[in-house]
Amino acid sequence: MSAEAPLRIRGAALERGGRELWAGRGREGAPGVYTTDGAKIAALGLRVRRGCSFHGLAFTVAMDLEPFRRINPCGYAGQPVTMLAERGGPADLGAVARILVPQLSAQLGLSPAWQDGPIPAA
């Protein structure tokens, strides 16, 4: 995995999602996706261990945001966190996936393979 992988993943979230779901931006030195008013709407995590990469892009779609008030998201005290449903975006994970998966795949040079049925819960 190259050093540019986090930027590609964040770029995918911003490119298509920023046009269709929310007005988003990156933040220098802070992984994730932020709204134009600075609230965090997605977290980005990457790790390479023994030649295997572990990575994730977690969007706050529709949930109780209270737990975020008890922590410092990404180490930033007072960092506001928001969710797509609060910003007029979809509250359905499947709808978000149909928008983001093709863009993320294109950024990483992959071809998505869709399965029938619901997206499994985490």
Taking the C-alpha atoms of residue 90 and residue 100, their distance in angstroms, rounded to an integer, is 12
How many C-beta atoms lie closer than 10 Å to residue 121's C-beta? 5
Strands (E) in 1-122, as ranges, are 24-27, 30-35, 40-49, 52-59
Catalytic residue from among 1, 5, 7, 74: 74
Q: How far apart are CA 82 and CA 61, in angstroms?
A: 9
Reading the block at residue 52, the tokens are 């295997």
Q: Is 74 a catalytic residue?
A: yes
Just list the catalytic residues.
74
